[in-house]
Structure 1
Amino acid sequence: MVDNNNIFKPGENCWVSSKANFVAPLIDCGNYYKALHSAIVKAKHSIFIIGWDIDSRIRLLRGDDEANSEAPSVVSDLLAWKAENNPDLNIYLLRWDSSLAFFSKREMWAKEVWEEKTPDNVQTELDDTIPMGGSQHQKIIVIDDELVFSGGMDISTNRWDTRDHPVESEERDGPDGEYAPLHDVQMVSSGPVVADFSKLVRWRWLRVAESEPVEIREQADTSLDGPIPDTWPEGFPPIFEEVDCALARTIPFMDEVEPAQEVRTMLLDLIGQAESLIYIENQFTTRQEIAEALNKRMKARPDLHVIIVSSYEPKGKFECEAFWASRIEFKSILEKDIDPKRVKLTYSSCEDLQGRKAYKRIHSKVMTVDDKYLVIGSSNLSNRSMTLDTEIDVVLSGNSDLNRAAILNVRNDLLAEHTGRDISDMPALFAEEYPVEALIHGQIAHGYVLTEVRDEVFTTQSVNNVFRSLSDPEEPLISMPSFDGGALPARNPRRRTIMIMLGVAVIALLGGLMFWASQSISWLSGESINAFLEKSRGTYFALPTVLLVYVVGGILFFPVTVLSLAVAAIFGPIWGPIYGIMGALLSSAILFAIGKLSGDAGLRKVGGPKVEALDEKLKQSGIVGVAAIRMLPIAPFSLVNLVAGISSIGLLQFLIGTFFGMFPPMIAKGLVGDSITQIFRNPSVETISYLVGGIVLWGLMIWGSQKFARYYQENRQKRASDNEASESKECAA
């Protein structure tokens, strides 16, 4: 039986009405990443990746799949490998140029990282066209213009998980350590719908990029009755065939672009079609208009039941007060004057046999309406997803017996996972008078169970507040007046702009502190330091005094050369350099430790790939590299100490390199410092000659040390190359 009476209305509740020859839902990231890896390996012509995030560090394969794969698992390595081995393959990466809200959670220098890791036929752009407060939230990957992945999943951190969602998992390891179980849904499709996605991704690319992408491949088979494409992922057979579908978008008002709220209109129209059961799983449920529509439909259809699965615990104050507080209102509107046996807003959690508890984080955006429609998309049931973010939802219609059965299979499969049941148990539960109540009761202990949400344990119902205004707005946070008397939304500040502003702020702060110190701290001057050191000469406190001066001077970025000359002038050409190098080493170690703590706190991430490359060279050169930097003072002494701490070099290597780099010149400085003192006391040809000789010796030591360091480094690299060649011969033998 075929039903062509779908509700798709292009220009109203959808962008286009189309058809997919084959569709397979991909539940949870372990499956999605595996399918994506398979399709990328098969790609021959083009790959477009549009995402909220595209993180270069993500491993697409795990376990035996990773061990047995000939292709790299890490997504940046995989795309680089594909591009290098297929020069005619064009790869386009379009990632949201994220706002300040996600500044610390994502790769800081995404564009530079990808450009550093991939060849020229991989192009990367950051989308900064989204209005302030909104985000680029579409998640689309088009391969060879014959296959498309779409839904709720990004190639991002803290996403990977398997369908069993173990309470603890070593593989669920993110930047901040192990994260909780996470559930998500994507889909892979082929057929005519791919041509529509191919147009969409190219339109998105041309909005921000100067280069034209490759044209849509004429040979791509997107005909109505085309076969399964060659790029279809292994191990994921389609469950929908020749299914009617529609693409619904949210497009905010941006730079002469006509806004679209097709997602919002489509969801309301779908709710109006429900007769028996609506199933929703969604990351956020805050849009009151949706709650009102559900409540209205349940009152109009007494046999209609609604079950919603979302997350349990909010992450941070903003999420708590913007989304969880709003969910209290959503739930209240949803349930008003409705029999509680007919409707439940729930979360999925598990307590294993060891008593360990886990709450499943829901990131998916799925909706089923009876056996008529299935939505798999990127949009949350939130204000921002309806108006301000860019979104794309795919709506599949049950236009045949096969596809109606597939819709029910997806719904039953998801609810079986969330309730710890077998999928074969589900039809009997839905045959009950109150299926929602039946789902909640009789769940198996020590497995995942659904529980009704009680958000009052996290927050109280609140009126519109600043958290909601910033995190779940309907309109851009800032609008600028236009020449025609209207208003244009301000864009989110670009990541590069944020980085420059932070850099300027840090420099200004350091400069201001140094200026304040020079004006306010009376003893922070060459004369005061000389007088302070002079008092300690000939006492037991001489060395501690020198050490204290070096440590305080290092923290306050006082020039080390001035300190070294002062110490040499006061303590002479022998004890002066000895005291000086001890003070320099102690100051270096303390500032190194400060840098280490700062790096661990995130400054290493701020540096970006160029700093990482410099860091790697410094680590490889080790003692010799540090000595070379110390011999030629190309950066302030204190800054070198801090940067070394942020880098990957070891403290012992750093201090040894510092000793070899500073002690020879310090001996020369000792002669210079002592000569300057003698000139003031007894100016003569002899004392002036000592001064000139000391300066010449200083220059010669720098020149000679550089020569020696270069010679040592070249020999070291030669020995390493010889060893590698020797090992290769042994392996060949």
Structure 2
Amino acid sequence: MSTHKVFDSNKNCWKTSQATHATPLIDCANYYSALHSSICNAKHQIIIVGWDIDSRIRLLHGEAEEQSEAPSRIGELIKWKAEQNPDLQVYILRWDSSFAFFDQREMWALEVWEDKTPDNVHVMLDDSIPMGGSQHQKLAIIDNEVAYSGGMDVALHRWDTREHLIDEPGRIGPDGEYGPFHDVQMVSCGPVVEHLAELARWRWNRLSDTAIDTPEAMPDHGNERPETWPQGVSSCFENVPLAIARTLPEMDDVESVQEVRHMLLDLIGQAERFIYIENQFTTREEIARALNKQLKAKPDLEVLIVSSYDPKGLFETEAFWASRLAFKDIIEDGVDTDRIKMTYSSIRDQQGRLAYKRIHSKVMTIDDRYLVIGSSNLSNRSMTLDTEVDVVMFGDTDSNRKCIAFTRDDLIAEHTGRDIETTESIMGGKHIVNELMNNQIAHGYVLTEINDEEFTEASKANIFRTISDPEEPLIPPVKGLGGKLTAITNPRRRTIMITVGLAVLACIVGLLLFISNTVSWLDGDRISAFLEESRGTYFALPTVLLVYLIGGLLFFPVTVLSLAVAAIFGPIWGPIYGIFGALLSAGTTFLIGKGLGNAGLRKLAGPKVEAVDKKLANTGIVGVATIRMLPIAPFSLVNLVAGISSISLMQFLMGTFLGMFPQMIAKGLVGDSIMQIFKQPSAETVTYLVIGLVVWIAMIVGSQKLAKMYQAKKQSDNAEDSEKEESEQCIA
């Protein structure tokens, strides 16, 4: 296959095209800054497709964040931009994800975006990927004139600078600090954007009832860079020919596409002198065999592979590290190992602290003729099961070949702690791999040959690899009534959450049923008998407190307890004892709720709890009192939810007292009347019962009216304050 005919749209690529300008963006600090700039300059349309798009991620850090007029966090930035320009349409398509990544994702991503952004921001979760696969394409299209593609997500644990310092204050997420992280993205403009935008629109339109319209004509900027090109970013490649290769699994409306797999195999077959690879995972044995074959066919060819070293968890160790041992054995079979090195980049500073650089990029160079920047790992799943997109640039001119060589040498320089000039000198000589591995600078980043036997042993097939790096869906398609095969997809995030919630609820209900069936005193009659024994003794109040405390923890109805206490202790002491018991029970379950909220229940509950939280915070004591007067939710449940919110314990207890004590008095009349009716039925006792019920109902109706009046007054006051502020601003 001759050099200029490698790209074959019938086999190894979807489209062939050209980028008027293109340049690699190395590491997330550079990509996030560029993306922030392009979003700020957008006028018409933003499309972002990703494995994850986390609204909490800061795109800017340090001085750039301090000096920027636009928000730094992407969720706030999109909201700000969409409100600023109502004609701008924003489309965000994120993978719905699987259970394995729950700890790495924003729990209620869809609801967060929908609740915090205006109507011109459209958000959707892609749940169409077959079981075991993932949505792995990473694209951002700005005004159909600038495109970002590659390996980077706007996600947790991604941001880092090119220095990859051991101590980096900006390298911290919602769940704590993380180590050095390396990735590569590409920004481009020109004809290539039309095709990447077409791919992004197709991804959205196949899932949504509201389609993204195809623009009538793509903007033509000639050889000039468009306004949405990121500020401060120069272009390395100019008018560079390229190809777009994809992986698509077989889905209900999609045939399997394995262009990436065929492209990489064809490119390896073109190598003459040097192949450079940096990739998160290297497990695809077909790729290893192709590399070994080319090494044997080309005696001068050398190969350098840079990947991660310390595995994250058992699944990564046994699925990817164990497979990498086999990958390494295949490449080195019958080949001088001085010509091929599989390495990792790490640093040990003068204090002896060691840090491993996490490699997440997906880059390959073939001599100085081809540069691949994409989303595909050298793994089974990336070749067949996940959705992927790689862009392959061809060095057709001296300038573009120099760009490919510079990108490769720049990356190697970063990983070896050298400057670019020294690296270029080594790359121009002989025995390149050995020279790169030798004489590296102490206390800087160095390349070291991997030794995965430290973590595991070679395994061609195991349960971990079957689950984490499959070639086919974990559950095969099933035939429908019409005989058509239907793919079994990953369970939706909402389905998983509902299942988990139902499981937790079932456990709680089961526990309560077990307690109610085994604890003989847990019923109304026995509680009344238990309270009756304490009447007239010094233990009356402690007994009531104990009953309310245990009843609250077991979600026993507070109304039943209040009526029982009133019936036994009368219309005066009954309400007094009852309110003390209710306050103790409410305060205890409130504190339990606060503890659960701090432990992560607030994150699990999502933005809906935030809405309740705001209402409680705005209304304070009056809001709590209103909730207590209206029988809208179980007593203990209200306590737990209030604990999750930001209202203080003192406000909560005062609101509970004001809302419940009048009811206690009414229940005292009702409860005592019921007891007297059973003991000595008469017109007087029936009258007391009727009066108590009327008072009770009147308090509920009155509380509703008071709540409405209070809310109306507060809205009126807020409106007056707003008008006053606007007036003062106008005067100023």
The bucket for the TM-score relative to the shorter chain is: over 0.9
- How far apart, in 1, do the equivalents of 2:201 and 2:349 lie? 47
Matched to 1:194, the amino acid is V
Residue matched to 2:359: 362
Residue correspondences, number: 729
Cα distance 1:300–1:4, how it changes in 2: closer, same or farther (>3 A)?
A: closer
1:576 equivalent among 574, 577, 581: 574
> Are the equivalent residues in 1 in contact too, given 2:144–2:218 (CA < 8 A)?
no
The 3-state SS of whatever aligns with 2:37 is: helix
Q: In the alignment, what sits opposite 2:175?
A: 176
Q: Following the alignment from structure 2 to structure 1, what is the Cα–Cα distance between the partners of residues 238 and 56? A: 35
Task: Describe the SS at the equivalent of 1:289.
Answer: helix
Q: Answer with 63-72 or 228-237: which moved more.
A: 63-72
- What does residue 548 of structure 1 align with? 546
Native 8 Å contact 2:248 2:388 kept in 1: yes
Alignment CA distance shift 1:411-1:41 (3 Å): same
Q: Compute the displacement of 1:253 (Å).
A: 0.6
Contact 1:126 1:208 in 2 (8 A): no
1:427-449 C-alpha deviation (Å, 9 max, x unpaired): 22224533222222322233222
Partner residue in 1 for 2:527: 529
Alignment CA distance shift 1:312-1:578 (3 Å): farther
1:584-663 superposed matches below 5 A? 584-663=582-661
Cα shift readout 1:420-469 (whole Å, capped 9, x = no counterpart): 22112202222453322222232223322222222233233334222211
Contact 1:479 1:487 in 2 (8 A): no
The match for 1:324 is 321
Residues 103/705 of structure 1: CA separation in 2 closer, same or farther (3 Å cut) = same
Deviation at 1:712, TM superposition (A): 5.1
> In 1, distance between residues paired with 2:728 and 2:487?
66
Mark the CA change 1:541 to 1:303 in structure 2 (over 3 Å): closer, same or farther.
Answer: farther
Equivalent residue number for residue 20 of structure 1: 19
Task: Please say if 1:112 is aligned against 2:108.
Answer: no
Q: 1:440 aligns to what?
A: 437
In structure 2, what is the Cα distance between the partners aligned to 1:595 and 1:465? 43
Residue 691 of structure 1 aligns with which residue? 689
Letter in 2 for 1:234: Q
Helix, strand or coil: the match of 2:530?
helix
1:398 to 395, 398, 402: 395
Q: In structure 2, give the amino acid aligned to 1:429.
A: I
SS in 1 for 2:467: helix
Residue deviations 1:159-180 (CA, integer Å, cap 9, x gap): 1111112223332222211222
Letter in 1 for 2:461: N
SS for the counterpart of 1:394 is: strand
Q: State the Cα distance separating 1:487 from its structure 2 match.
A: 4.5
Cα distance in 2 for residues equivalent to 1:464 and 1:597? 44
Aligned-pair distance for 1:400?
0.9
1:45-60 alignment to 2 at 5 Å?
45-60=44-59
Change (3 A) 1:728 1:82: closer
Could you tell me whether the CA contact under 8 Å between 1:4 and 1:399 is conserved in 2? no
- Tell me what 2:348 maps to: 351
Residues 623 and 332 of structure 1: CA distance in aligned 2, closer, same or farther (over 3 Å): farther
User: Which residue in the other structure is 2:563 paired with?
Assistant: 565
Query: Pairwise mapping of residues 92-171 of structure 1 onto structure 2 (< 5 A)?
Result: 92-171=91-170
1:588/1:655 contact within 8 Å kept: yes
Q: Matched residue of 2:606: which SS?
A: helix
Q: Look up the equivalent residue of 1:521 and give its one-letter code.
A: V
Distance 1:581 1:411 in 2: 74
Q: Which residue of 2 aligns with 1:673?
A: 671
Kept after mapping to 2: 8 A contact 1:599/1:645: yes
2:290 maps to 293
Paired residue type of 2:659: G
Whole-Å Cα distance in 2 between the matches of residues 417 and 118 of structure 1? Answer: 39
Instruction: Tell me the secondary structure at the aligned position of residue 18 of structure 1.
Output: strand
- Cα 1:40/1:625, change in 2 over 3 Å: same
Bigger mean CA deviation after superposition, 311-320 or 263-272: 311-320
CA distance in 1, matches of 2:166, 2:713: 53
The structural deviation recorded for 1:391 is 0.3
Q: Please identify, of 479-488 and 261-270, the stretch whose mean Cα deviation from structure 2 is larger.
A: 479-488
Mapped partners of 2:288, 2:3: distance in 1:
28
**Structure 1: 5+ residue runs without aligned partners?**
none
Verify the 8 A CA contact 2:179 2:357 in the aligned structure 1.
yes
Q: In structure 1, give the amino acid aligned to 2:613.
A: D
> In terms of mean alpha carbon deviation, does 680-689 or 318-327 score higher?
680-689
The aligned amino acid for 1:585 is L
Structure 1 residue 312: deviation in Å?
A: 2.0
Distance 2:73 2:208 in 1: 26
Once the two structures are superposed, residues 107-165 of structure 1 have per-residue CA deviations (whole angstroms, 9 ceiling, x without a partner) of: 23333322222222222222222111111110111122221110011122221111112
Identify which range, 94-103 or 430-439, moves more after superposition. Answer: 430-439
Q: Secondary structure at the match of 2:4?
A: coil
- Native 8 Å contact 2:416 2:445 kept in 1: yes
Residues in 2 aligned to 1:386 and 1:730: alpha-carbon distance in whole angstroms:
63
**Post-superposition offset of 1:203:** 1.6
Shift of residue 481 of structure 1? Answer: 3.0
Q: CA deviation at 1:246?
A: 0.6
Q: CA RMSD for the aligned pairs?
A: 2.4
Q: Secondary structure at the match of 2:206?
A: helix
TM-score, structure 1 normalization: 0.94
State the one-letter code of the partner of 1:375: V
Q: 1:599-632 CA distances to partner (integer Å, 9 max, x unpaired)?
A: 3343323323333222222222222211211111
Structure 2 vs 1, CA of residues 458 and 579 (structure 1 numbering), >3 Å: closer, same or farther?
farther
Moved more, 718-727 or 469-478: 718-727
Question: Deviations along 1:636-676, whole A, 9 cap, x unmatched?
Answer: 01111222222232333222222222222112222322222
219, 222, 227: which one aligns with 1:230: 227
Residue 252 of structure 2 is aligned to residue 255 of structure 1: yes
Would the alpha carbon gap of residues 168 and 559 (structure 1) be closer, same or farther in structure 2, given more than 3 Å must change? same
Q: Counterpart of 2:266 in 1: which secondary structure?
A: helix
Q: Normalising to structure 2: TM-score of the pair?
A: 0.94
With over 3 angstroms needed to count, the CA separation of the structure-2 counterparts of 1:302 and 1:485, relative to structure 1, is farther
Q: 1:257 to 1:716 in 2, by over 3 A?
A: closer
- What is the CA-CA distance between 1:709 and the residue it aligns to? 4.9
Q: How does 1:486-497 map to 2 (within 5 A)?
A: 487-497=485-495
Match of residue 264 from structure 1: 261
Q: Match for 1:615: what amino acid? A: D
How far did 1:725 drift?
A: 6.4
Deviations 1:256-293 (A, max 9, x none): 32211111111111111112221111111111111222
Maintained 8 Å contact 2:3/2:270 = no
Distance (Å, rounded) in 1 between the aligned partners of 2:80 and 2:17: 34
How far did 1:362 drift? Answer: 1.3
Q: Distance in 1 between matches of 2:540 and 2:462?
A: 61
Shift in Å at residue 710 of structure 1? 5.0
Distance in 2 (CA, whole Å) between partners of 1:168 and 1:457 is: 26
Is the Cα–Cα contact under 8 Å of residues 22 and 236 in structure 2 kept in the other structure? Answer: yes
1:427 equivalent in structure 2: 424
What is the DSSP-based 3-state SS (H/G/I as helix, E as strand, rest coil) of the residue aligned with 1:396? Answer: strand
2:698 counterpart SS class: helix
Matched AA of 1:200: L
Quote the residue 1:372 is aligned against: 369
* CA displacement at 1:214 relative to structure 2: 1.9
Q: Distance in 2 between matches of 1:459 and 1:535?
A: 67
Q: Which runs of 5+ in 2 are unaligned?
A: none
1:409 is the counterpart of 2:412: no
Change (3 A) 1:705 1:255: closer
Q: Any conservation in 2 of the 1:51–1:136 contact (CA below 8 Å)?
A: yes
Q: CA deviation at 1:501?
A: 3.0
**CA displacement 1:302-347 (0-9 Å, x = unmatched):** 3222221111222222222211222222222222333332222222
Distance 1:439 1:574, change over 3 A: farther
Aligned mate of 2:237, from 208, 231, 240: 240
Cα deviation for residue 719 of structure 1 reads 5.7
Structure 1 residue identity aligned to 2:697: G
In structure 2, the CA distance between the partners of 1:277 and 1:219, relative to structure 1 (3 Å rule), is closer
